[in-house]
Structure 1
Amino acid sequence: MQKLSNSCSGALRTFSFWLANGTVGYPLLEGIDYSCIFEEPSSLERAYAIFANVLEMDDKGMILNAKYAEK
């Protein structure tokens, strides 16, 4: 059974930290209060779905576009 690569799990972990910390999308979203995303579970689910669906990996599982997926 395959598991997520360290690169992929790291990208998800970093995205989660930035989202919870209020700094995701910096500097693009700097100063924008998106804390309401935590009040509606489907909004948070949508943010993760978009992030995960935009991520691209090479053949070794290395994430190629984490910053782009974050935006």
Structure 2
Amino acid sequence: MAHLPEDVRASFRFFAFYLANDTLVMDLLEDFDYRPVVMAHGSGLEQVFAIFANVLDVNESGEVTNYGDAEYRAAQWIRRCCDDSYKVDPPFAGWELDLPP
């Protein structure tokens, strides 16, 4: 069985670190204490990681090519949960929100 490439594993590690430390995409989320919203029942956290994973692109060499985009899209979902006036632009596509079975 193959393992995820090192760059992909590092991306998930950094994403989890920033999320847990309340330092995820500071220019978008710095004024919001999002952790209670995301971690309240687990489903918010599940959705955040699904968006991050769904948006993350990996090239043939196993290198992540869009970490910032994946992180930002997940942060946009969090911001929308914390701020009803925030408009996600562009709106989420269905594939971004899909949860694997």
TM-score of the superposition, structure 1-length normalised? 0.93
Q: Which amino acid aligns with 2:40?
A: E
Which 4+ runs in 1 deviate beyond 3 A? none
Q: Decide which moves more: 28-37 or 53-62.
A: 28-37
Structural mapping, 1:43-62, within 5 Å = 43-62=44-63
Q: Decide which moves more: 29-38 or 48-57.
A: 29-38
Match of 1:42 in 2: 43
Counterparts of 1:32 and 1:65, CA distance in 2: 25
Counterparts of 2:52 and 2:21, CA distance in 1: 17
Counterparts of 1:61 and 1:26, CA distance in 2: 27
Q: How many residues align?
A: 71
Q: Percent identity?
A: 39
Q: Does 1:6 align with 2:9?
A: no
Counterparts of 1:2 and 1:50, CA distance in 2: 23
Q: Does 1:28 align with 2:32?
A: no
Q: Decide which moves more: 47-56 or 28-37.
A: 28-37
Gaps in structure 1 of 5+ consecutive residues: none
Q: Which amino acid aligns with 1:42?
A: S
| 1:38 shift after superposition | 1.2
Q: Which amino acid aligns with 2:45?
A: L
Instruction: Quote the RMSD (CA, aligned, Å).
Output: 0.8
